[in-house]
Amino acid sequence: MTAFKNNLLRTTARAPWWRRAMAAIHSDSGPVAVSFILCLPIFLTVLGIIVQLALLINAKIMINYAVDRVGRAAVTTLPEHQYDALQRAARLALVPLSPRAKGDATAEALQVWQDFSTCGAAVPTDLAARYTYATAATALSWSPSDPDYQNLSGRPVQITLHYKFYLTVPLIMSIVNPDQETVAGVSGHFFDISSICTIQTAHGRRAASDGNGWAQ
């Protein structure tokens, strides 16, 4: 029987139609195709879960890096009450992780793009759009929120950073978060990732500063 099937499978296009029909009937390609079709959705689902998990791990690493940057900035800017500097530090660190915002870029995002261009850096054309998304997707807080940092140098401060990470893997994003929302014009599924760091304010000898917290 096996030899008969092998002979049928070796038939060429010049063989009579009835011989080609018999080869198709005795071929195992039909059951194999059915098994493949049944297993394909399971395989794609597992693959999608692995890809989305890898993206979430990468996002967590980036957010940990961002909150560390905020912590370094907070050591000297909190005593000066330059709270906007902390926000900018977080947003700049999260630009590579952010999708492009839809609509007009914020004035701050355009200013950041202009500042980098003035310094001669090779600025990506979509930096302002990504910075705009990071602005809308980032929530930063610290505790204690408003003490007298100038007279309480060395006091521990806990900084918490929340970021709405945009999920991109089809089907899996609905499993991770079934709710849809819109952030900076980007509609879809998001996952809230947070990170915490603790720093100590250390003002040291105070120097005069400009409106952005830089020493004069």
Range of the domain at 188: 29-200
Question: How many domains in the chain?
Answer: 1
Q: Which residues contact 105 (CB under 8 A, 6 or more apart)?
A: 113, 128, 129, 131, 132
Label residue 204 left, alpha or beta by phi (over 0 means left) and psi (-120 to 50 means alpha): left
Q: How far, CA to CA in Å, does 207 sit from each of 83, 180, 213?
A: 18, 48, 10
Q: Is residue 95 part of a domain?
A: yes
Q: Is residue 4 part of a domain?
A: no
Per-residue pLDDT tens digits for 87-110? 999 999 999 999 999 989 999 999
180 within 8 A of 109, measured Cβ to Cβ: no
pTM (2 decimals)?
Answer: 0.74
Average pLDDT, the chain: 81
The larger pLDDT score, comparing residue 1 to residue 50, is at 50
Per-residue pLDDT tens digits for 138-150? 999 988 876 666 6
Q: Is residue 12 part of a domain?
A: no
pLDDT given at position 39: 81
Q: Is residue 15 part of a domain?
A: no
Q: CA-based angle 22:24:29, to the nearest 5?
A: 150
Q: How far, CA to CA in Å, does 75 sit from each of 72, 119, 172, 193, 200?
A: 6, 26, 40, 24, 6
Q: What are phi and psi of 156, to 5 degrees?
A: -65, 135
pLDDT given at position 122: 83
Nearest to 58 by CA among 101, 97, 95, 92: 97
